[in-house]
A = this chain, B = another copy of it.
Amino acid sequence: MAPTPPLPEYTAEFQFLKLSYPSPGVMHVELNRYWREFEAAFSRISLDSTVRAIVLSSALPKLFCGGVDLSFLQSLNHNTDAGRSGLLIRQMTTEFQHAVSAPERCPYPVIAATHGKVIGLGVDILAACDIRWTAEDAVFSIKEAAVGLAADVGSLARLPKIVGNSSLLFELALTARDFSAQEAKDLGLVSNIVEGGRDEVVGAALGLASRIAQLSPLAALGTKRFLLHAREHSTQSTLEYEATWNMGVLQGPDMVQTATAAIQKKGKVDYAPLAPWLKPITKL
């Protein structure tokens, strides 16, 4: 018998990130400096059937993310031989990667809103988000090479597939130099530069999330999955996947509801949540 999915009960227990519902269907995740709770938060949100879109931002006024604490990297020595130390490094790297990839696994679209310093791990996290908007004051850096390692938790694995100029990407990754919001847009890393700083970009991203939250959640879920699938598979394989996916999903009522609403000139459709069998999360 398959385990029934555990019901989420997330409350205000998170210390280093803050969750809020600023508008219907929109979840706002604000990161503080520590990211330990990052994966746990996304796992819970993924099971919250009232969510339709997520905005990820920093809670700090001048810093989106300052990178991994170097003392952590130095702590990996466990007084064992090089073979077993290697296995430990691999296990912890794999867990770290899994955490950073949480926005990508999340069924709902995730909008990153960056500002201030976006350093090292900050770019890794950014690369795992679906839509990437930035304040004009942001300064980015693929910092890892400057601290003596090749970045292994997401930036180098995802960026070659999601930006449009490999030469610029190699330059930024191989020099670890700072680059501006404009250069991030030229690269294809972000798609919108919002005038101002943290407040302005968060406000704009929340507006975008509200817009997405009004669409059919079946349509939004499928659109995200299909775009991610296409990034990783051949075109023919994705077409086949889409047709197979829609065998079941297209039998949902959302398309008919939309058409009926259009005929009846109703502006907004009340789509059912994705997982009506899940209790809404109320303890937040």
CB distance from A44 to the nearest CB of B (A): 15
Q: Are A235 and B275 in contact (CB under 8 A)?
A: no
Which B residue sits closest to A100, measured CB to CB?
B239
From B157, B212, B220, B240, contact of A239 by CB (8 A): B157
List the number of copies, as a whole number.
6
Residues A277 and B1 in contact, CB atoms below 8 Å apart: no
Given A81-B251, A251-B89, are A256 and B166 also a contact pair (CB < 8 Å)? no
Does chain B have a CB within 8 A of A19?
no
A230-264 residues with Cβ-Cβ distance < 8 A to B are: 230-236, 238-259, 262
Interface centre among A159, A208, A211, A243 (most CB of B within 10 A): A243
The digit string for A110-145, where 1 denotes a CB below 8 A from any CB of B, is 000000000000000000001111000000000011
Residues of A in contact with B (beta carbons under 8 Å apart): 1-3, 5, 34-36, 39, 68-70, 72-74, 76, 78, 80-97, 99, 101, 109, 130-133, 144-154, 156-171, 173-177, 188-192, 208, 211-212, 215-216, 218-227, 230-236, 238-259, 262, 269, 271-272, 274-277
